[in-house]
Chain A
Amino acid sequence: MEPRRAAPGVPGWGSREAAGSASAAELVYHLAGALGTELQDLARRFGPEAAAGLVPLVVRALELLEQAAVGPAPDSLQVSAQPAEQELRRLREENERLRRELRAGPQEERALLRQLKEVTDRQRDELRAHNRDLRQRGQETEALQEQLQRLLLVNAELRHKLAAMQTQLRAAQDRERERQQPGEAATPQAKERARGQAGRPGHQHGQEPEWATAGAGAPGNPEDPAEAAQQLGRPSEAGQCRFSREEFEQILQERNELKAKVFLLKEELAYFQRELLTDHRVPGLLLEAMKVAVRKQRKKIKAKMLGTPEEAESSEDEAGPWILLSDDKGDHPPPPESKIQSFFGLWYRGKAESSEDETSSPAPSKLGGEEEAQPQSPAPDPPCSALHEHLCLGASAAPEA
């Protein structure tokens, strides 16, 4: 109750005094009043000596409290405001300076940018120039390439023409030589000349001697003056087929047969080589049987390759499976199914199974031959007999001529 009563009586400390310090000072004075009353009460009851020692201590403590509550005196505050104002001025100046600096910054940057732009512009111009240059060079290259293409075409055309000319020349030479042939017997020089010509130009002449002899050996050969005159009368035909076409076809057929044979022999060789490489022991008997099997098969394949009918006997092998069955994946194949045995399965299957197997499945083995549309069994009327096998093509081609 007392502090509230005392509060309105406390004088104000000025505008700078905080409300907190005013109330604290009031509290201190209130406390001082209360303590004074208490101490006077003590001195009255127990004599002045009872509180004599206590009073100065309490007074001192209250003074300290008052000092702390009231704060510094007004004049000391004025003194402390001065440096603050100085600080403020200094800060304002600094602020001004910084603003100036800030305003100056962009100008430098702008100068830099301007420089940069100049450099960029210059580089762009350079790039454009380079581009133009490149484009020009590209066009030049294209033009050169076009020229090259044209030259290549011209070259190809010339080669074409040259080839055609060579062919014509060869034909002309052939005709020339033929015209000279009737006189050959009389003038050995002419023969020499003809030989020289035959030896000179290209590829075709490897076969020429054969053709020439064939022509000479044929009945009604050019040695007959009448025949020669006839040939000269049909120069184009003579140029095309100086020798009989059958002879030529025979030679071709022979060559084809030899080629087919070489191919088959190579295949066969490869089989055997593989057998050797895989280190299978091949007993003599088996080897012999294998040879037979291969030979039989070869006829069929050769007939197919050459488009000729097969010989009569070959139809008997039809049931023999040519597919070469084996399980040689492992290093040690089980003996009853060795690769060698399976190579001529016919042999082994013939033992194991009855012959009805062969009669019941004749078709698969014929497949190969049928693709060629060639007869391969002893048909009652084979278009060409086996004897004339290699002449067959000539015979078959004849009607078209």
Chain B
Amino acid sequence: MRSSLTPLGPPVSRDRVIASFPKWYTPEACLQLREHFHGQVSAACQRRNTGTVGLKLSKVVVVGDLYVGKTSLIHRFCKNVFDRDYKATIGVDFEIERFEIAGIPYSLQIWDTAGQEKFKCIASAYYRGAQVIITAFDLTDVQTLEHTRQWLEDALRENEAGSCFIFLVGTKKDLLSGAACEQAEADAVHLAREMQAEYWSVSAKTGENVKAFFSRVAALAFEQSVLQDLERQSSARLQVGNGDLIQMEGSPPETQESKRPSSLGCC
């Protein structure tokens, strides 16, 4: 029966199907150089043994100064539209984008946060539990690049150290060309390496690199969560032996495990 398993889910549009591992933007600042899925992951995907979660979902948080184009970037990807007029985001917003990665349905929940200072206190409440942090800046405005350090620090404060993938994204690539673009990218790559982030240049207006970027984000997040699931599966199997003991004490294994995350996520 195992071999004939197919996860039930509505079909995903063709350009959200990721069969091979998407490539980095620049090897100078990227999170990993592998061009294939992790062996364990692709094996698990073939066996359809990627954990029992039907709706695999990862949280992505997009932060950065106001008017760098966070909302535009997300809207270009999720709705394939571009609105010239600036419309400040109030507090937070999110979009859910469905993928099919290595045959497994997978979703990214992309949180769009307000860049305005006055909303920072509200938006920062949504940083918690992010698997991916995207720090966006305006390629034509060097100050916004400098501010990404602070944005990242704020976002990391709400998350466990080392638990997030970090991306540094330069927006409005269409406004720059030639030497100016190269200079801006070089500066950004430098900072990205410092942040241990993967660097991307995109343009929401032209759509350049937008799909490739989010595919990369999705694939990395997917791979990581499958690996984590597999790890948990194997550790769960190890726990079976003393499962009775714990139940006799009146505390099912779930409670013990769930205590850990609750203390982590404590505000």
Residues of A whose CB lies within 8 Å of any CB of B are 149, 152-153, 156, 159-160, 162-164, 166-167, 202-204, 207, 239-241, 245, 248-249, 252, 255-256, 259-260, 263, 267, 270-271, 273-274, 297, 301, 304-305, 307, 309, 315, 318, 321-329, 337, 339, 342-343, 359-380, 382-383, 393-397, 399-401
Contacts and interface: CB of A to CB of B under 8 A. Distances in A.
A400 B254 contact: no
A363 B253 contact: yes
Given A270-B10, A364-B52, A397-B121, A325 B5 contact: yes
A297 B235 CA distance: 24
A398 to B, nearest CB: 8
Interface stretch (B15-23, B36-44, B145-153, B226-234): B226-234
B9 interface: yes
B83 to A, nearest CB: 11
Contacts of A273: 10
Interface of B: 1, 4-11, 48, 51-59, 67, 84, 86-88, 90-94, 96, 109, 116, 118, 121-122, 124-126, 128-129, 131, 140, 160, 172, 175, 177, 225, 228-229, 232-233, 235-236, 239-240, 243, 247, 252-255, 257-259, 261-262, 264-267
Nearest to A384: B267
B58 A360 contact: no
Given A241-B118, A270-B10, A370-B232, A307 B262 contact: no
Given A202-B87, A328-B6, A399-B267, A368 B92 contact: no
Most buried by A among B57, B233, B258: B258
Given A249-B122, A366-B254, A368-B57, A160 B236 contact: no
A373 B264 contact: yes
Most buried by B among A270, A396, A397: A397
A331 to B, nearest CB: 14
A156 B172 contact: yes
Contact of A322 (B52, B116, B229, B267): B52
B121 A368 contact: no
B10 A204 contact: no
Given A152-B175, A368-B57, A327 B5 contact: yes
Nearest to A398: B267
B254 A362 contact: yes
Contact of B125 (A152, A318, A361, A400): A400
A323 B54 contact: yes
Main SS of chain A's interface residues? Answer: helix
Q: Which 3 A-B pairs have the closest CB atoms?
A: A363-B236, A324-B8, A270-B10
Contacts of B94: 256, 259, 305
B121 A361 contact: no
B66 to A, nearest CB: 8
A252 B122 contact: yes
A372 B164 CA distance: 12
Contacts of A267: 9-10, 55
Contact of A363 (B7, B59, B239, B267): B239
B69 to A, nearest CB: 11
A383 B253 contact: no
A178 to B, nearest CB: 15
A370 B86 CA distance: 37
12 contacts: A159-B84, A248-B122, A249-B91, A325-B6, A367-B52, A368-B53, A370-B232, A371-B59, A373-B265, A375-B258, A400-B125, A401-B121
A364 B236 contact: yes
Given A252-B92, A307-B129, A379 B56 contact: no
A267 B48 CA distance: 20
A397 B122 contact: yes
Given A153-B140, A362-B254, A373-B129, A396 B267 contact: yes
